[in-house]
């Protein structure tokens, strides 16, 4: 059985680092992040420069602003959530088994993840190399983490919280590595902190050296757990946080200044879409739909929401971005944009095996872009597939989006081709010879054709209460096309307009 190996990733003062990541000009300044309801805001997070000036957690806004040169900012949960999501995505590249111990919440300003990297040496290298690769990824994203590896998950957590940089704990050396660390790395209750301070216990090594029975007799069973933690012996059952397989990918961007031009918006949307496609590719997914929500500066219409759905799940960045661009050109936002949100719904990519003798069809992505250009040119209600309406009115239909997949039905291994009526617009005037109620001949193109079969008439009328009233008699007719030198007979539909007293050829059956 392989020995367990864990890597702990800890980002100290996560809200402050998130602000530095978004505003690089603040990296050389002391930063204090406030949380709470004004005017009762208190300091929630600090960076090292602010801590060295004497700022402390829980200070009021006026106290924090009294220090010269300190950048005081309010906490923005949406920015922290986006940064934490990016943190998890970087960690997922090294291990699929990740447990979130702490995330930016109400009382905690740090972020701590535990990764199970057991048996990853052959793929990713030694524990030192894995930690360095993960640190380089996060440094490139603007975060400065502390990392530690150990065969004991709790030992790795305490080392990451107490030691900056990278710490590698060999098997059997947990107590030795943890001994110099301060008790601050433990989650102690206020009463426990006061007790240890009274006893003069300041490090994990001093706590580990206490007599176990006497410690348990004075502070209870919690003493056994704290001492086992300080020795690196307390076992931890990893509970990885596994999201649903079809969870959507989200990206958020807040703008410092409102943007009212499409070109800079497309630049930002392109970067967000690139992140979504990269995350989808890591899970072998394509994108079935992209929802774009633009937060507007206007007080009347706060959000502009558009959804782009390609015919087939798409992986191509240029195709999806072009569809978003054409859609925003057709339906532009009514005011300047102050924030952007993009949501990509994943789906399994569709692969099609073409036959050797099947005509080549255009790529789904290019065809979708062409249809989007046509919709922009002639109108959205003029491009698509016709759908018959539930009405007796002749030629009642509407245009709908093309179906993503079109297959011909099969029965007993043979294809079934449904008969289709091709409507003639405008209908062609014809002459019909009747014998009582039976149709005898039909004159078409100057030729008189004999009627083999005729079914009808079907009398329809409706909407007589409007200006679009209609009244007609329809026949299904089979013509003898011997005079036209055609072997197959012609099946068509003929209509008679009683108001105009005229016959029309309205359609031909395939």
The predicted-structure confidence for 415-473, as pLDDT tens digits, reads as follows 444 567 888 888 899 999 988 888 899 988 778 888 988 988 888 888 778 877 778 88
Average pLDDT over residues 196-202: 91
Of residues 205, 213, 214, 212, the one with CA closest to residue 232 = 205
- Provide the token pair at 56: 């402390």
What percentage of the chain carries pLDDT values higher than 90?
26
* Residue 242 confidence (pLDDT): 65
Contact between 451 and 440 (Cβ < 8 Å)? yes
> CA 229 to CA 1: how far, in whole Å?
25
Average pLDDT over residues 203-210: 92
Average pLDDT over residues 310-338: 90
CATH 3.30.70.20 fits 6-168, yes or no: no
pLDDT in tens, 360-394: 666 777 888 888 888 888 888 788 888 877 777 77
Q: H-type helices in 379-474, by residue range? A: none
Specify the range with the lowest mean pLDDT, choosing from 158-172, 262-276, 368-382: 368-382
The CATH architecture one would assign to domain 253-347 is 2-Layer Sandwich (3.30)
* φ, ψ of residue 237 in degrees (nearest 5): -90, 110
pTM: 0.59
Q: Write the CA distances from 89 to 15, 38, 125, 349, integer angstroms.
A: 18, 34, 20, 21
> CA 122 to CA 367: how far, in whole Å?
44
Contacts of 364 (CB under 8 A, 6+ apart): 310, 311, 312, 314
Domain definitions of the chain by residue range:
6-168, 253-347, 421-509
Average pLDDT over residues 142-158: 92
């Amino acid at each position: 059985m392989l020995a367990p190996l864990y890597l702990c990733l800890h980002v100290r003062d996560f809200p402050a680092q998130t602000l530095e990541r978004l505003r690089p000009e603040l990296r050389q300044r002391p930063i204090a992040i406030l949380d709470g309801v004004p005017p009762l805001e208190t300091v929630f997070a600090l960076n090292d420069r602010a801590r060295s000036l004497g700022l402390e957690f829980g200070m009021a806004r006026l106290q924090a602003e009294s220090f010269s040169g300190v950048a005081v900012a309010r906490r923005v949960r949406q920015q922290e959530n986006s940064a934490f999501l990016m943190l998890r995505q970087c960690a997922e590249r090294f291990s699929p088994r990740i447990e979130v111990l702490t995330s930016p919440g109400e009382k905690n300003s740090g972020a701590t993840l535990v990764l199970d990297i057991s048996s990853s040496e052959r793929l990713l290298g030694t524990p030192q190399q894995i930690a360095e690769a993960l640190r380089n990824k996060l440094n490139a994203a603007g975060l400065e983490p502390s990392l530690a590896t150990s065969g004991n998950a709790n030992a790795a957590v305490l080392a990451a919280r107490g030691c900056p940089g990278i710490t590698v704990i060999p098997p059997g050396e947990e107590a030795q590595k943890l001994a110099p660390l301060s008790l601050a790395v433990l989650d102690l209750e206020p009463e426990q902190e006061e007790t240890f301070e009274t006893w003069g216990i300041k490090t994990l090594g001093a706590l580990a050296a206490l007599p176990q029975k006497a410690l348990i007799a004075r502070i209870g069973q919690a003493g056994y757990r704290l001492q086992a933690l300080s020795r690196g012996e307390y076992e931890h059952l990893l509970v990885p946080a596994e999201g649903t397989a079809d969870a959507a990918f989200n990206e958020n961007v807040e703008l410092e200044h409102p943007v009212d031009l499409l070109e800079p918006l497309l630049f930002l949307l392109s970067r967000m879409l690139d992140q979504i496609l990269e995350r989808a590719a890591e899970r072998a997914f394509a994108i079935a739909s992209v929802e774009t929500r633009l937060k507007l500066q206007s007080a009347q219409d706060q959000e502009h929401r558009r959804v782009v759905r390609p015919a087939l799940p798409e992986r191509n960045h240029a195709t999806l971005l072009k569809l978003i661009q054409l859609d925003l050109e057709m339906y532009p936002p009514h005011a300047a944009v102050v924030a952007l949100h993009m949501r990509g719904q994943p789906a399994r990519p569709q692969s099609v095996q073409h036959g050797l003798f099947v005509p080549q069809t255009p790529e789904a992505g290019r065809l979708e872009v062409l249809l989007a250009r046509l919709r922009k040119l002639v109108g959205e209600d003029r491009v698509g597939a016709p759908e018959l309406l539930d009405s007796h009115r002749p030629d009642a239909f509407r245009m709908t989006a093309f179906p993503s997949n079109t297959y011909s039905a099969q029965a007993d291994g043979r294809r079934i081709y449904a008969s289709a009526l091709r409507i003639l617009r405008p209908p062609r005037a014809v002459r019909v010879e009747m014998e009582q109620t039976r149709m005898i001949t039909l004159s078409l193109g100057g030729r008189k054709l004999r009627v083999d079969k005729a079914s009808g008439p079907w009398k329809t009328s409706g909407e007589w209460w409007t200006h679009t009233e209609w009244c007609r008699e329809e026949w299904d007719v089979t013509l003898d096309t011997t005079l036209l030198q055609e072997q197959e007979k012609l099946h068509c539909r003929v209509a008679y307009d009683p108001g105009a007293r005229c016959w029309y050829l309205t359609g031909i059956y395939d």
